Amino acid sequence: MKKNVFIFASIVTIVALSALLLILFHASTGKQPISLFPGPTPVIVNTGGESSASDSGGPGTMDEATKEALDQSYLVGKLADKLPYYGTNFNFYYSYSRNIFMLYLKPANKQAGNVEFDAFLKQNGVNNRSWIKNLVVTASPVPPPP
């Protein structure tokens, strides 16, 4: 019985020392320890600033069109949080189940509804309706539920 306990204790000690040596070896080589649960690789994007790398077109730079697209996409996402919106000549919804924006123009005042909707977008920082993907525009006296 004492021999079995001694063997068990010896095996546990050897395993513990091996794990400790492995950890110390990785720490001394400067490498990151091996992860048992690999996660996503972080992506670092330089959003501008005064660095010389941005001026030279180096890694992490972003052109104006890409920056504008990201800004507008962000603003459209924020706009979805403010919906539904009921204007004088239009109603604006976002359907989470169908992943679409729905713009209902009142049939009697379609032109006024378009002008009012464009002003609503500008008020919320969205340059124009082309930035809203999956936009469904319809004229209906009673809009269906979103």
Contacts of 146 (CB under 8 A, 6+ apart): 84, 93, 94, 95, 96, 102
The predicted pLDDT at position 83 comes to 81
In a domain, 81, yes or no: yes
In a domain, 17, yes or no: yes
Q: Are residues 58 and 34 in the same domain?
A: no
Low-confidence ranges of the chain (pLDDT < 50): 36-37, 52-54, 146
Q: Are residues 79 and 114 in the same domain?
A: yes
The predicted pLDDT at position 44 comes to 59
In a domain, 34, yes or no: yes
